[in-house]
Amino acid sequence: MNNQQNIFGEIAKKKPTKGKHKEDYYVNLLMWAIQGPIIVHPGGWGDNPPETITSNISMNRLIQSMAITKSEEVTPMAPELEAMWYISTASLEAPLDRDWTEIYMILMQRWMLNQGKDVPDFLCGIPELNDMQRNDLKRLREWIFKKSFEGVKRKCKEMKQSTLKNPKMETLLLKKTTTQTDLFSKFG
């Protein structure tokens, strides 16, 4: 059987291991990394993230997708930066409880250190996440990945069906995708 239990206790499908499904999965994974929608908390606060956030999320997704393709043990999930952005947009809708505040502060601290920025005093000396907080963060990252990846799969399927109906459309879509995914111009 091609199923495993995830941390929600639900049955989750494993990554495809052979054939056309595996190829489609990896194409969709790459499309997720480059063009997948950034999932934000409902409310309209984070619908247009700053360019620094979107480009960093895309780069982190590329790294995450490489880890997913290299190992069967890596659980597909969104990068920490994307989870940080989601929590940030959620905090604009309603106050965060203590656990989510600590998770957000840890993620912000890691991101600032990764960017080579000075960490403010209030982010220094934060204790590491406890087991419950790590599990909450993992579930959030898995959920964000699932929602974003579903959007990419749906979009890829629609594009594939439209190109089968109209072969000229394939050339137009290829040109559009090439323009949108020029990583050198996007990431310098």
pLDDT in tens, 81-129: 999 999 999 998 889 999 999 999 999 999 888 888 898 888 888 889 9
**How confident is residue 10, by pLDDT bands cut at 50, 70 and 90?**
very low
Of the candidates 111, 23, 15, the residue with the CA atom closest to the CA atom of residue 68:
15
What is d(CA 4, CA 12) in angstroms, rounded to the nearest whole number? 5
What is d(CA 163, CA 167) in angstroms, rounded to the nearest whole number? 5
What is d(CA 70, CA 63) in angstroms, rounded to the nearest whole number? 11
Of the candidates 133, 141, 26, the residue with the CA atom closest to the CA atom of residue 78:
141
Tokens linked to 148: 């974003």
Taking 70 as the threshold, does the pLDDT of residue 180 lie above it? no
Taking 50 as the threshold, does the pLDDT of residue 179 lie above it? no
Residue-averaged pLDDT of the chain: 78
- Say which range, 17-21, 35-39, 60-64, 101-105, has the weakest mean pLDDT: 17-21
Taking 80 as the threshold, does the pLDDT of residue 175 lie above it? no
Contacts of 117 (CB under 8 A, 6+ apart): none
Residues 69, 41 contacting (CB under 8 angstroms)? no
